[in-house]
Amino acid sequence: MALVRSRARGDDTFMRSALQFIGRAVRETTEVNNLEQWMLRAMARAMVMCVLTHSPIVEASDYSPSVPTIHPTAIIEGDVTLADDVVIGPWCHLMGTLGAITVGSGTVLRSRVQLEGPLTLGENNTLCANVCLGCAPQDLGTPMSFVGPGVIIGSRNVFREGVTVSRPKWEKPGRIGNDNYWMTNSHAGHDCIIGNNCIFGNGTLFAGHCEIADRVITGGSAGLQQFVRVGRGAFIGGLSAATLDVCPFFMVLTVNHARAINVIGMRRAGIPSASIDAARWAFKTLCHGRMPPKRALEVLRTRAGDPMIDEYISFIESSKRGIVIARGRHEKSQ
């Protein structure tokens, strides 16, 4: 069942016709007593409230895909472009006054969703209650009216209740890929870059400028400090955190402590056994080789040419913060 309707379709035609009929009855009938007139006026007032604050309860399949479905309590202002089959639920606010908002086909805003431009949403995204996308950076030196380059979001993402994503401060737009699942109250700060096929547990917190590669999973209340990068297929456990970069497929289960390789995740991703073995060797070399990280990197280079090893070499060489290893709570690897 749906409680949303399209203003363009005029789904309240029957209601308005009934109001006109009652209005004529009140004006033209002289034989009704005061009680009957009062009842007619009460019915009219009730129907007016129904038109203004509610929608007829109809099956979602009754709606034509040719126009967006917009609840009458939704507020849409400024430069907003909606695909034909977008659904905007009760009390949503699309604020295109700071920058343009574009919402792709099949996207559903269930209720009380806040979108602030510049913002681009791809197709078939689902936004649940109290989601806020493109909100102002949470920065003491940045005014709420700051526009910036905005946020670009792909397709088939699910944002559960209370998810927030801030718009960036720097010159490049923030980006979220495809097929990500954001659980309740997770947050991505300004200038974050998120890949594809990720799952973020309840209360996951990404500070500003974090970069998350594809197929990353976080547990509940996991956290990343500013500018941290997380490699492909990594796992950040519940109540765990990282202030250093997390290598591909590493499992971080406390604070800055790599515990193992995410073998299950690699198998689910269809990675060949030979590549899984190479990742295991890289993990042992970096975390259990009893050598400084620079020396461990030299050992990795002895197997350069293996695609998995090359991925680790490239990730480590591009790290500006050092990487999480298996040695200490706050030790920085250089």
Helix residue spans in 259-323 (DSSP H): 263-268, 273-288, 293-301, 307-317
Check residue 283 and give its pLDDT: 97
pLDDT at 285: 96
H-helix or E-strand spanning residue 241? strand 241-242
- Do 316 and 296 contact (CB within 8 A), yes or no? no
Rounded mean pLDDT for each run of 10 residues along the chain, 334 residues in total: 35 54 56 59 59 44 69 97 97 97 98 98 98 96 94 98 97 97 98 98 98 98 98 98 98 96 96 98 94 93 98 97 77 44
Tell me how far apart the alpha carbons of residues 218 and 83 are, in angstroms, rounded to a whole number.
Answer: 32
Return the bridge partners of 151, or none: 119, 174
Pairing of strands 250-252, 258-261: antiparallel
Per-residue confidence (pLDDT) for residue 326, from 0 to 100: 84
Q: Quick one: 68-212 is in which CATH superfamily? A: Hexapeptide repeat proteins (2.160.10.10)
pLDDT tens digits for 231-266?
999 999 999 999 999 999 999 999 999 999 999 999
How many whole angstroms from its chain centre is CA 272?
A: 31
Q: For residue 95, how far is the Cα from the chain centroid? A: 17
pTM, two decimals, is 0.80
Identify the pLDDT of residue 42.
Answer: 61
Nearest 5°: phi and psi at 281? Answer: -65, -45
DSSP state of 5: -
Using left for φ > 0, alpha for ψ between -120 and 50, and beta otherwise, residue 7 falls in: alpha
Measure the CA–CA gap between 314 and 184, rounded to whole angstroms: 34
Which residue spans of the chain are classified as CATH 2.160.10.10? Answer: 68-212
Asked if 180 contacts 199 with a C-beta cutoff of 8 angstroms, the reply is yes
pLDDT on residue 293: 86
Spatial CB neighbours of 19, under 8 Å, sequence gap ≥ 6: 44, 47, 48, 51
Residue for token pair 């295109």: 96
